Structure 1
Amino acid sequence: MKTIILLSHGEFAPGLKSALEMFAGDQAKDVLAFGLRKGESADQFGQRFAQGMAEVDQSTGLVLLADIIGGSPLTTACNILAQAGRMEDTIVLGGMNFPMALNAVLYQDSLDGPQFVEKVLGEASAALQQFNFQTDTDDEEDDI
Structure 2
Amino acid sequence: MKKILIATHGEFAEGIMSSAEIILGKQENLFFINAHVDHIPVDKKIETFLAENVSEDDNLIIITDVFGGSVNQTAIRYLSSGKVNIITGFNLPLLLELIMLNESDITPEKLKEITEKSKEQIIYVNDELLKVNDEDDEFEL
TM-score (norm 2): 0.78
Instruction: Tell me how many residue pairs correspond in the alignment.
Output: 130
- SS of 2:118 mapped into structure 1: helix
Structure of greater relative contact order (alpha carbons < 8 Å, 6+ residues apart) = 1
| 1:6 and 1:32 in contact (8 A); partners too | yes
Q: CA deviation at 1:77?
A: 2.4
1:61 has 2:54 as partner: no
CA distance in 1, matches of 2:72, 2:91: 15
Question: Percentage identity across aligned positions?
Answer: 23
Distance 1:60 1:9, change over 3 A: same
Amino acid at match of 1:35: N
- Separation (CA, whole Å) in 1 of partners of 2:31 and 2:38: 21
* Matches for 1:25-104 after TM superposition, within 5 Å: 25-26=25-26, 28-38=27-37, 40=39, 44-55=41-52, 56-79=54-77, 81-82=78-79, 85-86=80-81, 88-104=82-98
Higher helix residue share: 1
| TM, length-normalised to structure 1 | 0.77
SS at match of 1:47: helix
- For 1:20, the equivalent position in structure 2 comes to 20
Aligned-pair distance for 1:39? Answer: 6.1
Equivalent-residue separation in structure 1 for 2:93 and 2:51 (angstroms): 28
* C-alpha distance 93-47 of structure 1, shift in aligned 2 (>3 A): same
Structure 1 residue 40: Cα displacement:
4.4
Structure 2 CA distance, aligned partners of 1:39 and 1:2?
28
**Root-mean-square deviation (Å):** 2.3
How much has 1:119 moved relative to structure 2?
A: 3.2
Unpaired runs of at least 5, structure 2: none
